[in-house]
Amino acid sequence: MRVMMLGYQGRPGVLEEAERLRPIVQRHAEVVAFDFTGQSDLSATAADLAIVLGGDGSILRAARQMGKRQLPVLAVNLGRLGFLADLSPDEVPGILEKIAAQGLEGRVIEHLMFQCQVYRNGSLVAEQLGLNEVAVLSGSCFKMIDLDLYIDSEWVTTYSGDGLILSTPVGSTAHSLSAGGPILRKDLRAFLISPISPHTLTNRPVVDSADRLYELAVAKSEPGTAAVVDGRVLCTLALDDRVRVEKAGVRFKMVAVPQHSYYRTLREKLGWGGRLTHDAAR
């Protein structure tokens, strides 16, 4: 089995933990890539599995690095909350032993990804593959922007406020959740539209099919208004720019870990039924 070990060395302790785990991984697999810069293009790397160490941000970075050749990801949580990175370092040897002996068949769950494109005067000016969300954000914290939403070319409404988030189910526990959006099960095929501080109180989050084409047209902007994909600025936006979002032709692949169910993760990370556990709050 060929594996990539990935993460971000800017997070304290990640590179040290990766070096500690490397000989353990090499007992079961060949390490063909060891990248903790978060910058390398890994779309052409021949591997069977990506072991990602860090938090959810490290997983988003790894998905971006892999591009249109998404490998199954074994996510090891070295961060704080971590809805995607849910495996502890101590569990890695046992999981790798099972994968080496039994393979990945039946262990991989696929999740929706999207392609975001920005058009200006009819020309493509920027595009990015994403996993969590596209957010159009006001450049000023004191002024509203207006965004026209179109779904399959039909005008839906105009949102006035601090911005708008269009997220996948995986991204529903990220920025959208902070903006008051609902939590969607990660394996659903849907997009979630969440306004940020809308001026009209009747504007509420909307869930629709992933098979539709979503467009956000900038009807009123402020200097610095930007399209942000998975926490990174894709480009600044001007009046009449259009941000198009549709499901990608590739899926994000997560290795399912026994005893780490969807609702157990939510219960522990969000402190449902009691206080946050020590591990979740750390």
- What amino acid positions are annotated as catalytic residues? 56
Q: What is the total residue count of the chain?
A: 282
Nearest to 3 by CA among 66, 84, 60, 78: 66
Q: Tokens in use for 119? A: 């058009």
Say how far apart CA 231 and CA 234 lie, in whole Å: 9
Structure tokens at 97: 């032993």
Coil, strand, or helix at residue 149? strand
Taking each helix axis as running N to C, give the angle between helix 14-26 and helix 92-102, from 0 to 180 degrees, rounded to the nearest 10: 40
Strand order of the β-sheet with 232-236 is: 206-209, 190-196, 163-167, 133-137, 226-229, 232-236
CB-neighbour burial class of residue 264 (10 A; exposed 0-12, middle 13-18, buried 19+) = exposed
Please, what's the largest Cα pairwise distance for the chain? 58
